[in-house]
Amino acid sequence: MKNLNKTKKLVIFGLGETATLAYEYFTHDSEYEVAAFSVNEGYLTEKEFQGLPVVAFEKIEEYYSPEKYNAFVAIAGGQLNRQRTRVYRQMKEKGYVLASYVSSRAFVWHNVEIGENCFIFENNTLQPFTKIGNNVVMWSGNHLGHRSVIKDNCFITSHVVISGFCEIGENTYIGVNSSIADNVKVAEDNYLAMGAVVSKKTQPNSVYRGNPAQRNKIVSAKAFCGVLGETE
């Protein structure tokens, strides 16, 4: 295990598996020292997690001020990432700087742009001139081709191939082993199921499955977000 110079302090929101992984990665592969965890007061059932204090999100500033601590929202991609996005925005409203984790075992070209509150795991390949927005998760083993853009609040699972000159719209979830061809624009609020092969522009608020990927009748907001949607 390498010797890390811990120059910044961090509070992680969440107590689930994503928070556990965030603690592992930030602790053993970053400049951040994790100081505490936080959850909404209604879910505060324990005082410690990973041997560290757990505080109510509603009172987090009283214990860990945004002037001294950064934050990271460690929530999975449920409801097309809306749960994580909501807390991310609330944390920003409290004045916190949101940290990103980028694995030292990822290939990241020097001119790649990465936003805040991103979680980029090992073995991701981020080619030249790519851009990743805020609050994006890239699980292990993905390929992001040159000049491609992932917009805010997306969740990319594992072994996804996004070819060159693509655009992934906000709040999109891409399942394991999916592939997106060159120059394809994936619209916002898309759910691409495991193994989907997308070779042409998609429509917003949609679910795509198969090879070649076909649009389902049910809209993604209705299927995954618990909000009203209409079928076609």
Sequence-separated (6 or more) residues with CB below 8 Å from residue 130: 109, 112, 113, 144, 145, 146, 147, 148, 149, 150
Q: pLDDT tier at 2 (50, 70, 90 boundaries)?
A: low
Which range is most confident: 5-9, 45-49, 90-94? 90-94
In the chain, CATH 3.40.50.20 sits at: 8-93
Neighbouring-strand partners of residue 192:
174, 208
Q: Are strands 155-156 and 8-13 parallel, antiparallel or unpaired?
A: unpaired
Residues of the chain with CATH 2.160.10.10: 101-210
CATH superfamily of 101-210: Hexapeptide repeat proteins (2.160.10.10)
Amino acid at 163: S
Q: What is the pLDDT of residue 222?
A: 67
Predicted pLDDT at 229: 36
Write the CATH number of the domain with boundaries 8-93: 3.40.50.20
pLDDT tier for residue 3 given thresholds of 50, 70 and 90: low
